[in-house]
Amino acid sequence: MKHLLCLNDWTSEEILAVLDLADKLKYENKNKIAHDHHLKGKTLGMIFSKSSTRTRVSFEVGMHQLGGYALFLSSSDIQIGRGETVHDTAKTLSRYLDGIMIRTFMQKDVEDLAVYGNIPIINGLTDELHPCQILADLMTIREKKGTLKGLKVCYVGDGNNIAHSLLIGCAKTQTNISIATPKEYLCMQKYIDIAMGIASETGSNIEILTDPKQAIKDADVVYTDTWASMGMEDEKEQRAIIFAPYQVNEELFSLAKQNAIFMHCLPAYRGFEVDKAIIDGPNSVVFDEAENRLHAQKAVMVKLLSD
């Protein structure tokens, strides 16, 4: 059974096939071509231990457009984390649902659902990984640039779940990537090692740096994320000081290629990780990127849930 726990679970060919399907579903959506036959009669359970705008709306709308039903389950609606084990939750929900999307804190919870259940599990976000976002990002980059192979993506900021999944996604698709983070906020070594191992086979070039000016040089894509992710609000002031040199502003962005695009998974905090002139400027594709969550996730659901 296939899941989406980490992009490393999928081959390069599978990732590219899902991106192709996402493009097809987007075309059909834009041209009012019905595709509700794909998941007619299917039910997706959506477990949210962390709240979200884009994840909930895109999965719920996507499931509806594919002919299925999405069931929202907040942490107050179910017993997982309040006494019931992941084992029992997975066993029970597998009797009711055709698949589960979970947005939570611990990567282990997502992996345990896959181990103990017998339905596909989709990682909607954990503290370590965000594979659905990166599929939408890769779709957007290819849409704007015409290819992924050989491009340079530069990520500047916190070595977080976005950075981890972006490393793996770029390595899988022969996209070069440079990551610039403060030395205190490097990416987790295990995800660097995974990406490096993939890159040795695909030919992607990976750079792990602390100097944002060095990382962004000649980049085709510039990407950043919030400096204080959900649950880190008490660190916001301290992080604002440490990350100040990593703000994507006009001075830093000018070091990328002239036709570079700017990306951010949102929500964004103007004046912190990105300057208003960049995120609201002509090179920004953040709302195309947000829209593509819908289409990329629809492709994931068709891949995993269709008969």
pLDDT at residue 165 above 80?
yes
For residue 222, the cross-strand partners are 154, 262
CATH of 7-130+293-305, one of 3.40.50.720, 3.30.160.270, 3.40.50.1370, 3.10.20.600: 3.40.50.1370
Strands 221-224 and 206-209: unpaired
Read off the pLDDT band of 137 (50, 70, 90).
very high
pLDDT at residue 160 above 80?
yes
Q: Which of 133, 174, 247, 297 is catalytic?
A: 133
H helices of the chain, in order, are 12-30, 54-65, 86-93, 107-116, 131-145, 161-172, 189-202, 212-216, 236-242, 250-253, 276-279, 286-305
pLDDT tens, residue by residue, 231-257: 677 888 899 999 999 999 999 999 999
Tokens of 98: 């055709």
Q: Which of 3, 264, 293, 295 is catalytic?
A: 293
292 secondary structure, DSSP code: H
For residue 179, the cross-strand partners are 155, 208
pTM for this model (two decimals): 0.97
Q: Is residue 225 flagged as an active site residue?
A: yes
pLDDT of residue 260: 98
Q: Which of 38, 54, 130, 295 is catalytic?
A: 130
Read off the pLDDT band of 81 (50, 70, 90).
low
Q: Is residue 54 flagged as an active site residue?
A: no
Read off the pLDDT band of 83 (50, 70, 90).
confident
Read off the pLDDT band of 15 (50, 70, 90).
very high
How many whole angstroms separate alpha carbon 163 and alpha carbon 167? 6
- Could you tell me which residues come within 8 angstroms of residue 216 by beta carbon, excluding any fewer than 6 positions away? 154, 156, 178, 180, 222, 252, 253, 255, 256
Q: What percent of the chain has pLDDT over 90?
A: 91
* Range of weakest confidence among 112-121, 168-177, 229-238: 229-238
CATH of 132-289, one of 3.30.420.40, 3.40.50.300, 3.30.300.100, 3.40.50.1370: 3.40.50.1370
pLDDT tens, residue by residue, 254-307: 999 999 999 999 999 999 999 999 999 999 999 999 999 999 999 999 999 997
Asked if residue 52 lies in contact with residue 289, where contact means CB atoms within 8 angstroms, the answer is no
Asked if residue 55 lies in contact with residue 24, where contact means CB atoms within 8 angstroms, the answer is no
7-130+293-305 against 132-289: fold identical: yes
Query: Which residue reads 């829209």 in tokens?
Result: 291
Q: Provide the residue ranges of all domains of the chain, joining segments of one domain with +.
A: 7-130+293-305, 132-289
Q: Is residue 265 flagged as an active site residue?
A: yes
Q: Which of 137, 225, 247, 275 is catalytic?
A: 225
Angle subtended at Cα 266 by Cα 191 and Cα 60, rounded to the nearest 5 degrees: 95
Q: Which of 54, 98, 265, 297 is catalytic?
A: 265
Q: Which of 38, 54, 103, 264 is catalytic?
A: 103
Asked if residue 162 lies in contact with residue 130, where contact means CB atoms within 8 angstroms, the answer is yes
The SS3 of residue 265 is coil
Q: Is residue 133 flagged as an active site residue?
A: yes
